């Protein structure tokens, strides 16, 4: 499905969000707290929007971007003639990187589209260095309030119509609002991140509560675990290995 809409993916995002999606990507990068020399992994990169924003905001970082859909990655690569980003086709539930490889990990509209969100967060925790940052941008179910009927009408009627006339794929843009309305509320997604092992989890909402940016950190080792690790590193060769 994402391969079929890849050619008009960026245009549809700008239309659906009234061009606000660029501001949300900037918020993602701001919350990642990137520093020169950092390594960033962008998971579910699509056509590379978050990855390119990261390079723009902090050119001295190394960016790796992965996506499950080859057609999306092909568009992203064409937008990167100088090869500023390392592109890789990969599954978000089984990332091909070693433990504690990256200083930050970002994602845009990923978690709503994976079958096991907790596993996706656990994989992101695994590849993060202790103290590393996770930032997750995704849709949220429309909250109750006076605007709720208008938001539901926009999701159920306007977006599929735009998808049909702009992207030529009404079903894909029917899937989007359906999964948005069925997705976790921000508090539940934050709880899932904590369950995966992240700390200092916070979130900020946009677009009448239908877009949320979550952020968190991989915990630093406790004093006890550091002492244990240091003890193992100085173990005499004569000692038995358990």
Kindly report, residue by residue over 89-127, the tens digit of the pLDDT.
Answer: 999 999 999 999 999 999 999 999 999 999 999 999 999
Structural contact between residues 30 and 96, judged by C-beta atoms closer than 8 angstroms = no
pLDDT in the model for residue 121: 98
On the CB side of 55, CA atoms within 13 Å amount to 17
Mean confidence (pLDDT) of the chain: 91
- Checking if the pLDDT of 236 tops 60, the result is no
- Gap between the Cα atoms of 100 and 97, Å rounded: 9
Q: Which of 126, 134, 133 is nearest to 44 (CA)?
A: 134
Give the residue-averaged pLDDT of 131-158. Answer: 95
What integer pLDDT is reported at residue 233 of this predicted model?
Answer: 32
Rama region for 152: left / alpha / beta (φ>0; ψ in -120 to 50; rest): alpha
Confidence at 235, pLDDT banded by 50, 70, 90: very low
Give residue limits of the domains in the chain.
2-140+184-221
Q: Residue 235 is encoded by which pair of tokens? A: 């173990």
pLDDT greater than 60 at residue 8 = yes
Angle of CA points 206, 65, 23, to nearest 5°: 25
CA–CA gap between residue 180 and residue 138 (Å, rounded): 9
Helix, strand or coil, per DSSP, at residue 40 = strand
Q: What is the mean pLDDT of residues 127-142?
A: 97
Q: What is the pLDDT of residue 222?
A: 81
Lowest-pLDDT range of 23-37, 115-129, 130-144, 219-233? 219-233
Residue 241 has pLDDT above 50, yes or no: no
DSSP per residue, 124-177: HHHHEEEEEEEEEEEE-PPPSSTTHHHHHHIIIIIHHHHIIIIIS-TTHHHHHH
How far is 139 from 181, CA to CA, in rounded Å?
9
With a cut of 80, say whether residue 47 has pLDDT above it.
Answer: yes
Q: pLDDT band at 177, cuts 50/70/90?
A: confident
Confidence of residue 223 (pLDDT cuts 50, 70, 90): low
At the second CATH level, the architecture of 2-140+184-221 is 3-Layer(aba) Sandwich (3.40)
């Amino acid at each position: 499905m994402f391969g079929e809409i890849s050619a008009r993916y960026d245009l549809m995002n700008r239309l659906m969000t009234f061009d606000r999606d660029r501001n949300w990507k900037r918020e993602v990068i701001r919350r990642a707290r990137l520093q020169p020399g950092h390594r960033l992994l962008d998971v579910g990169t699509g056509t590379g929007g978050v990855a390119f924003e990261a390079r723009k905001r902090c050119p001295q970082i190394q960016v790796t971007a992965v996506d499950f859909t080859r057609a999306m990655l092909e568009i992203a690569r064409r937008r990167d003639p100088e090869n500023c980003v390392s592109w890789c086709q990969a599954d978000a539930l089984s990332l091909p990187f070693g433990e504690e490889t990256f200083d930050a990990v970002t994602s845009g509209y990923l978690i709503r589209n994976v079958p096991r969100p907790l596993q996706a967060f656990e994989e992101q925790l695994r590849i993060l260095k202790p103290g590393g940052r996770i930032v997750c941008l995704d849709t949220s179910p429309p909250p109750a309030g006076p605007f709720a009927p208008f938001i539901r009408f926009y999701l159920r009627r306007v977006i599929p119509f735009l998808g049909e006339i702009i992207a030529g794929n009404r079903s894909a843009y029917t899937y989007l609002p359906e999964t948005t309305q069925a997705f976790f509320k921000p508090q539940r997604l934050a709880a899932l991140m904590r369950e995966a092992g992240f700390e200092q989890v916070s979130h900020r909402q946009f677009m009448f509560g239908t877009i949320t940016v979550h952020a968190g950190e991989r915990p630093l080792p406790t004093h006890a675990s550091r002492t244990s690790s240091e003890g193992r590193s100085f173990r005499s060769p004569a000692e038995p290995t358990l």
